[in-house]
């Protein structure tokens, strides 16, 4: 990759990230985040906008999911927000497809412009996985996604297939299927939080935990964590 391309990509990254942070701090006063009334007012404001312009709001949120992943963002908070705003079923579809497209675009860009850098940085760490992925890249990357990347940060998970020269089609569908269970559980938790905020004046932590809209998704979350741990031991123990 030429120096000019590196500079252009770096400037675009800084610009996009700055715009997102600017919008966040314009909308949210971080000093008020411990005030339940403030949080409720802000969340209700977003829900009102969503209800007034459901199509455009969904499109913008979907595009935000893609851009957020391209900026190496985490999927967990966006999954919670998606469930909060759209409900667990619709929220899962919006966020998981947004994540998958964002991940795939990031993979294509990384494979095109950053391949040498990634091979240099990660070749020693993942060389033991190369033979495994070459046998069935779709199956093993789907398991890798479901298992939380074997403890690998989400942004790094999105880049590792560059080392295996994975087909884009296999990358897309294995990501879509592998991310779906955890995104659904997180979206369900987000929906439960929205229901509690709507129905309670000042809910306590104990109240939230005891609510079935929160409790069942949390149990599902821990079940996925346990299964993920077992999958890591079986497939990624090295």
Q: Is the residue at 142 inside a domain?
A: yes
Q: Is the residue at 230 inside a domain?
A: yes
Rounded Cα gap, residues 203 and 78, in angstroms? 22
Q: Is the residue at 22 inside a domain?
A: no
Q: Is the residue at 102 inside a domain?
A: yes
Number of folded domains in the chain? 1
Chain centre distance of CA 115: 23
Cβ-contact 85, 173 below 8 angstroms = no
**What confidence tier does 234 reach under pLDDT thresholds 50, 70, 90?**
low
Torsion of CA 26, 17, 158, 194, to 10 degrees: 0
Cβ-contact 68, 155 below 8 angstroms = no
List pLDDT tens digits, range 123-156.
666 666 666 677 778 888 888 888 777 667 888 8
Q: Which domain holds residue 224?
A: 37-235
Torsion of CA 214, 155, 101, 137, to 10 degrees: -100
Q: Is the residue at 125 inside a domain?
A: yes
Q: How many DSSP H helices and E strands does the chain contain?
A: 12, 0
pLDDT of 201 > 60? The answer is no
What is the mean pLDDT of the segment spanning 57-77? 89
Q: Is the residue at 17 inside a domain?
A: no
47-51, 66-70, 149-153, 209-213 — which one is most confidently predicted on average?
Answer: 66-70
More confident residue, 1 or 20: 20
pLDDT of 216 > 70? The answer is yes
Torsion of CA 50, 52, 55, 60, to 10 degrees: -50
Query: What pLDDT does 196 receive?
Result: 76
Q: Which of 28-37, 49-58, 62-71, 73-82 has the lowest mean pLDDT?
A: 28-37
Q: Is 153 left (phi over 0), alpha (psi -120 to 50) or beta?
A: beta
Entry pTM = 0.81
pLDDT of 207 > 70? The answer is no
Query: What pLDDT does 5 receive?
Result: 63
Q: Is the residue at 32 inside a domain?
A: no
Query: What pLDDT does 190 receive?
Result: 85
Q: Is the residue at 96 inside a domain?
A: yes
What is the Rg, in whole angstroms, of the alpha carbon atoms belonging to the chain? 19
């Amino acid at each position: 990759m030429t120096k000019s391309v590196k500079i252009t990509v770096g400037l675009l990254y800084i610009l996009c990230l700055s715009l997102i942070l600017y919008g966040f701090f314009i909308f949210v006063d971080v000093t008020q985040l411990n005030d339940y009334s403030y949080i409720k007012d802000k969340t209700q404001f977003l829900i009102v906008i969503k209800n007034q312009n459901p199509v455009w709001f969904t499109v913008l949120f979907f595009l935000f999911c893609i851009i957020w992943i391209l900026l190496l963002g985490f999927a967990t908070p966006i999954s919670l927000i998606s469930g909060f705003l759209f409900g667990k079923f619709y929220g899962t579809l919006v966020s998981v497809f947004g994540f998958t497209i964002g991940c795939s675009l990031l993979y294509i860009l990384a494979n095109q412009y950053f391949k040498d850098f990634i091979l240099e940085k990660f070749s020693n760490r993942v060389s033991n996985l190369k033979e495994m992925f070459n046998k069935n890249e779709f199956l093993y990357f789907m398991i890798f996604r479901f298992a939380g990347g074997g403890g690998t940060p989400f942004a790094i998970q999105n880049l590792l297939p560059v080392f295996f020269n994975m087909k884009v089609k296999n990358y897309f569908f294995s990501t879509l299927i592998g991310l779906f269970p955890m995104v659904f559980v997180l979206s369900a938790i987000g929906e439960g939080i929205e229901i509690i905020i709507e129905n309670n004046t000042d809910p306590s932590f104990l109240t939230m935990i005891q609510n079935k809209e929160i409790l069942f998704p949390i149990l599902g979350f821990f079940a996925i964590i346990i299964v993920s741990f077992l999958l890591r031991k079986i497939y990624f123990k090295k």
